[in-house]
Amino acid sequence: MSPVFYLISAMTVAGGLAAVLFKNTVHCALALTVAFAGLALLFLGLDAQFAGFAQILVYIGAVAILVVFAILLTRGSETPKDSVYSSNWPAGLVIAAGVFAVLGWAVLQSVRFLPNETAVPKVTVLDIGNALVGRYVLPLEIVALLLTAATIGAVIVAMHEKEGAK
């Protein structure tokens, strides 16, 4: 475990915590970007260059921008006068802590059985492309259909309805 890993992990977890805890919604979106960037760096540390750069492109380039647009369109940047947390937040916190306890316990219990291949996988973008149009071509087509349907659906759902128009 290198110091770089600890540094990037601390940045990612801090970004995630800030995204959940900040009062101002725009600040939350910016902290979310930090968490996404940390995750991309973690992917690069795992020798998954393609996934790392796809993470930067899709999450920082598209999802974070979408979130900021949604915040500005819904005027969510105004901090509410009363609490930013829902009325039953203790129950949510207990559930999250319980889930983390179970996951952490499971990881620590299974450390001895986890695989630990030290050889760096030699996978190029060409290999990934060949796999995408070879063995994984059906999932690729389904994802293409899903993305088309989701885009059309999002536009139709968010489209402004004129009064009385049918």
Partner 1 sequence: MTPLAGYLMVAAMLFAIGLAGALTRRNAILVLIGIELMLNAANLNLIAFWRYGPHPEALTGMMFAIFSIAVAAAEAAVGLGLVISIHRHAHTTDLDNMNRMKG
**Footprint of partner 1 on 93-152 (CB under 8 A):** 93, 95-97, 99-100, 103-104, 107-108, 111, 114-117, 121-123, 127-128, 131-132, 136, 139, 143, 146-147, 150-151
Among 34, 35, 37, 41, binds partner 1 (CB under 8 A): 35
Count of beta carbons in the 10 Å neighbourhood of residue 29: 23
Q: What's the half-sphere exposure (Cβ side, CA atoms, 13 Å) at 36? A: 19
Nearer of residues 138 and 166 to partner 1, judged by Cβ: 138
How far apart CA 71 and CA 77 sit, in angstroms, is 6
**DSSP state letters, 45-82:** HTT-HHHHHHHIIIIIIIIHHHHHHHHHHTTTTSPPSS
CB of 78 to partner 1, least distance (A): 10
Residue type, 18: A
Tell whether residue 157 is a contact of partner 1 (CB under 8 A). Answer: yes
Residue 113 Cβ vs partner 1, minimum distance, rounded to whole Å: 10
Of the candidate residues 12, 34, 37, 41, the single one contacting partner 1 (CB under 8 A): 12
Helices 137-158 and 125-133, axial angle in degrees (round to 10): 80
Site string for partner 1, 54-83 (x = CB under 8 A): xx--xx--xx--xx-xxx-xx-x---x--x
